[in-house]
Amino acid sequence: MLRLLFLFCSFQTFFTVKSGTPSLWVFATLILGDTPFPEFSMVGMLDDLQLFYYDSDVPKLIYRQIKSEHEQEEQTDAGIVFREMHMDMKRKALISKHELNSTQGVNVQQRLASCELLDQDTPGPMRSWDAFNTVNDVELNFSIQQETLQAKGAWPDLWSHIDKERIRLTFANIYSPVCIKFLKRYLNMRKNETMTVKPRVRLLQKTLPDSSGAKVTCLATGFYPRHINLTLLRDGQSVSDHQVTGGELLPNGDETYQMRKSLEVSTEELQHHHYTCTAEHLSLDNKLDIKLELVAGVGTRTRVPPVVVLGVALLLCVGGVIIMCLRRRRHSSSSDESTQETDEPLQPLQKSAN
């Protein structure tokens, strides 16, 4: 059970950090065997925030950290979706248990499923991963726009055309409509409630030691929530994704996030092009535009014009001459005073009275 729990948490950490778009996640577990846990249970997450819990012992949504104004409707939708998911996962687990001759002890079927919103609230793909006793056996990718289903893994090889069509219709008519509706609703609810922290954004240039070029890096850090649009621009135009490295969303130690995008350029490109960085975030009223920043100590080089070098050298020489003259004048004045004191007549010593 500890191994299964570790896998479950690993799935959650990886996918919530990896995705940069608003996402609703469902982590479901079905257990076959004698345990004190419900046969079917699931947790709903808005990115890294737990929204609700559901299990087969008490088949209703139990809200966490939110109070929904549409609870009755959501309870009905959740009952339809999660009952269907419960039966589907149980059917798969029983077949896998028989095929693998795993009739002893506890057997576990797990599922990770998500839907997401792209720019302008456009529904993105809906994904699902299944594993039986920690071994992945199916990965599904459903396009909400085209209503097409792509399947990978051991299970899809056993499906007939009828099985695939049934699963596609389940995604199209049950899973995706409810998931997108929940996601939009919870995003609007959290927009006014969630704490926001503004990103600190910098655009840095670092000289590459093994070449004549440099690396231009756009860095945003310390922001919350996790969704951010970070764009590297050349002369006001977005740099194509295949030229840019990085872009992964990473957690900081204080529950905020960071992201960086880098571009390697030649010296000639630096001289002929202007690089900027833009950031869009929930905490910002307007788009944040950042210009290139040269920071000492990180490999940047600033070329000093020859005229400036010559001027500094000339000032140093003139200063040296002035200091020498002052010292000679002071030494001469000291010698004259000593001579005057020597030329004065000596006064006879008076004898003391006996």
- Full DSSP string of 171-193: IIIIIHHHHHHHHHHHHHHHHTT
Q: Is the preceding peptide bond at 156 cis, omega within 30 degrees of 0?
A: no
Q: How far is CA 17 from CA 62, 171, 198, in A?
A: 25, 25, 18
If one counts the domains in the chain, the total is: 2
Let me know: does 107 contact 100? Beta carbons within 8 Å: no
Domain that holds residue 275: 200-291
Let me know: does 182 contact 80? Beta carbons within 8 Å: no
Kindly state whether residue 318 falls inside one of the protein's structural domains: no
Last residue of a domain, one of 163, 191, 219: 191
> What share of residues in the chain are helix, strand, coil (percent, to 5)?
35, 30, 30
Last residue of a domain, one of 153, 173, 191: 191
Last residue of a domain, one of 162, 191, 220: 191
Same domain, 116 and 261: no
Same domain, 103 and 122: yes
Same domain, 218 and 278: yes
Kindly state whether residue 352 falls inside one of the protein's structural domains: no
Strand partners, 40: 30
Kindly state whether residue 164 falls inside one of the protein's structural domains: yes
pLDDT at res. 87? 95
pLDDT at res. 227? 81
Same domain, 160 and 228: no
CATH assignment at residue 262: 2.60.40.10
pLDDT at res. 320? 65
Kindly state whether residue 88 falls inside one of the protein's structural domains: yes
Kindly state whether residue 325 falls inside one of the protein's structural domains: no
Running DSSP on this structure, what letter comes out for residue 22?
Answer: -
Same domain, 227 and 182: no
Same domain, 58 and 85: yes
Same domain, 113 and 145: yes
Same domain, 17 and 151: yes
Lookup: tokens for 190: 């959290």
pLDDT at res. 241? 86
Kindly state whether residue 209 falls inside one of the protein's structural domains: yes
Q: What is the pTM of this model?
A: 0.58
pLDDT at res. 225? 79
pLDDT at res. 318? 61
Same domain, 98 and 139: yes
Among candidates 77, 44, 81, which has minimal Cα distance to 170?
81
Predicted confidence (pLDDT) per residue in 84-105, tens digit: 999 999 999 998 998 888 878 8
- Give the residue ranges of the chain where pLDDT is below 70: 1-20, 120, 191-195, 293-323, 325-354
Q: Rounded to the nearest 5°, which phi and psi values hold at 273? A: -130, 155
pLDDT at res. 203? 92
Same domain, 219 and 170: no
Same domain, 37 and 69: yes
Kindly state whether residue 261 falls inside one of the protein's structural domains: yes
d(CA 2, CA 194): 32
Same domain, 28 and 157: yes
Those residues with Cβ within 8 angstroms of residue 123's Cβ, 6 or more apart along the chain or in another chain: 115, 116, 117, 144, 145, 176, 180
For the chain, where are the alpha helices, taking DSSP H only? 2-18, 71-99, 161-170, 176-191, 267-272, 306-343
